[in-house]
Copies of this chain bind each other. A is one copy, B any other.
């Protein structure tokens, strides 16, 4: 009996953790970030407030982790071909276009829409949340592009003097702004075009 208690606790913890994530994502989608509270998340998840405070120090932390978990879940469901890595077929344009088409699909996935918009919106007016969103959710994906551009520099497909951290913004930021600010439609054609413009520039060669 004593031996079984540890796994039981782990299972119970895992169940609570998942209930908290679901409650946090549902609430933020329904009432928005400002009206989502630790109390509300706890009530909806059927756990005590103290259970949440044992694991996280703020609602921002709970939400970021819930969202990260949702993304990882989606990646697992999508199978090994659609993991969050950037392929290296040797052709940078092909690889970037493929990844950006997946991003277009993700941006249109209704499961992500409400919580990611709520978190992004709060980040615009709350620098602390904005920087946490950047560090936990955006930066890891941006680093994948940095690595892929560096590999392309090694392969002679990108000029050695280019800063990969700035280069990636030529295709990531336009897509992000269209999503955040409705500055234009989001399509595969559009992201393909961004990659071509970024690689070859808009001036005549």
Contact = CB atoms under 8 A, between A and B. Distances in A.
Given A198-B202, A200-B203, A124 B173 contact: no
A201 B124 CA distance: 30
A170 B197 contact: yes
A163 B204 contact: no
Contacts of A125: 32, 117-118, 121
Interface string A40-57: 000000000000000000
B181 A134 contact: yes
A124 B107 CA distance: 13
A205 interface: yes
Interface in A134-159: 134, 138, 142, 149, 156-159
Interface of A: 32, 34, 92, 117-118, 120-125, 127, 130-131, 133-134, 138, 142, 149, 156-159, 162-163, 165-167, 169-170, 172-174, 176-178, 180-184, 190, 193-194, 197-205
